[in-house]
Structure 1
């Protein structure tokens, strides 16, 4: 689908005019839940998930026949500030590992029964160092959002988004601070294994970036341009495209949530079609999830990225669909209802 925006102003207008879910479909799904052979509410969040899928797929009995995982990969100039224990070239090396089938996400996509595509952003040319310049020009930012937008295949039942990019927990933390307040110490975590000195450098880099881009912090999209990254922008674009195509979305961890949170700050209901798949062990993720009013589906102490948490949550949604579609009603099973 061709992106219907050419600059930040038209992108903002799109964010403010997104279609809503289908209340009729979710209402029928909720009514069906009330007839199934179980005490009301006894399947907990599985019931909620079935109704959520129904609302965004616009059908009372949702299905997950076509699930795809998109992993966007990008590099970050802020790595010059030694905010990661790994060099930037690891991004390209991991992309090659994805292509060879050797990464965790390859295995988890198979378990989830999902297709997997990995998209290199900007040829893996890094953004500018956010402590010294805007991460992206407006043209570069819009091109990255448009790449993510165009990557979403029509007809999907569920989209999972993830990322790969050395240094991107720094940019995600800076963006979280811009969107919700706080400073480097509020949002920075150890990423891929920083020691105390590395964490101090990361906090300092975030604070420096926030000070440099102070005039952009009032505008979520400008904050995403100045502080984010090509892969974060692409995630935003993919989430937008999914909304226009009535596709529900599973977000991965901290970086994905920060990327999509810019949409929430533009339009409070803009991420209603997206759920956070898991609570990352990265320090700021729990606070970020709370800031957008969500409770992640899983909490397994993971902080890998790659859409690994999103892939793990797909079988939970499959279970919700199976129970919703396959369980007998009280009448069908000849089971007595409450007296």
Structure 2
């Protein structure tokens, strides 16, 4: 079984630590002594406590936050799995630079900086987009491997380097966003393989397919898994990076790298919908220690998303019937994370009121 990784990836995995239990214990003691019944603020309490564990301090902060939108194209669109042509990926990258997309609008409101990265589009990288292109789109995974193992690792490294750069600039959290026509297809394939779910069960409508085309998409995913020798026993023959190479996407690999790099640097990772969920799941498969660094923002309408979150034991906070991607749901969690910290620092304790 080929489990070779690059030195960069190996060093990153070595740096990913479990959350700081001492910091979390101290934060929990503070939260439990606030003027409220213990646990009565639910997930908000757990958010503050986990931020303490991630930042390895009983007094975590959230001053600088970002969202990275990784972009890539997919050869499997040749099979008719999307209602839109792959050219839209390039058009949307331009839209991001003009700050006209949903992620730009929401991020402005949330005070998050948007970093758009072309890790694998089939078009010319627009001005204003970070050009980290590994390959001009993946190959058609329904006919063979989407990319080589070396290409998948190169895309992972793009994400790791970006996370390291953000950490060096003082960012404390990064939301995972994506853009790539056809990318719900590799995402569903990855979730089916890793979470052990039936393809028909977790294949969604993506960009708006009708039921007949959704079923045809499921057939393409089944064929892709079969051609790439990925079945229930794949762990006996290959590792998660190999699965990612065979039926994944360059932007998915890039986001997996962001997840690994952010965890190694002590940054929180906010997971968006099905594509970001699949990427985080692959990072989790590569290194289970990333789990504590992950916050599930919302539950996508794409059925593979819930399966990916369940595989990582993550509970989504928001239920907004969203399925856009771009990180649009992930950045909506930022105000709640900030509220959790305000709760911890600004609420009175029982001792403050004389109890």
TM-score (norm 2): 0.89
* C-alpha contact 1:15 1:263 (8 A) present in aligned 2: no
* C-alpha contact 1:41 1:47 (8 A) present in aligned 2: yes
Partner of 1:265: 285
Please state if 1:283 is matched with 2:318.
no
Q: Distance in 1 between matches of 2:247 and 2:48?
A: 36
Deviation at 1:175, TM superposition (A): 0.7
For structure 2, the 5+ residue unaligned runs are 123-135
* C-alpha contact 2:138 2:146 (8 A) present in aligned 1: yes
Structure 2 counterpart SS, 1:98: helix
* C-alpha contact 1:86 1:166 (8 A) present in aligned 2: yes
* C-alpha contact 1:183 1:206 (8 A) present in aligned 2: no
What value does the CA root-mean-square deviation take over the aligned residues?
Answer: 1.8
Structure 1 counterpart SS, 2:82: coil
Partner of 2:150: 139
Q: Distance in 2 between matches of 1:284 and 1:141?
A: 21
For structure 1, the 5+ residue unaligned runs are 1-5
* C-alpha contact 2:173 2:269 (8 A) present in aligned 1: yes
Deviation at 1:172, TM superposition (A): 0.2
For 1:35-86, what per-residue CA distance to the aligned partner results, in whole angstroms no more than 9, with x for missing partners?
Answer: 2111211111111110011100111121110101111011000000000000
* C-alpha contact 1:54 1:60 (8 A) present in aligned 2: yes
Partner of 1:318: 338
Structure 1 counterpart SS, 2:295: strand
* C-alpha contact 1:183 1:207 (8 A) present in aligned 2: no
Please state if 1:8 is matched with 2:28.
no
Please state if 1:235 is matched with 2:255.
yes
Across the two proteins, how many residue pairs are aligned to each other? 330
Deviation at 1:287, TM superposition (A): 2.3
Q: Distance in 2 between matches of 1:170 and 1:123?
A: 16
* C-alpha contact 1:29 1:61 (8 A) present in aligned 2: yes
For 1:292-327, what per-residue CA distance to the aligned partner results, in whole angstroms no more than 9, with x for missing partners?
Answer: 211111111000000011011111111101111111
TM-score (norm 1): 0.93
Q: Distance in 1 between matches of 2:292 and 2:205?
A: 30
Q: Distance in 1 between matches of 2:25 and 2:97?
A: 42
Deviation at 1:139, TM superposition (A): 2.0
* C-alpha contact 1:263 1:270 (8 A) present in aligned 2: yes
Please state if 1:64 is matched with 2:56.
no
* C-alpha contact 2:296 2:309 (8 A) present in aligned 1: yes
**Which of 210, 214, 233 pairs up with 1:199?**
214
* C-alpha contact 1:220 1:266 (8 A) present in aligned 2: yes
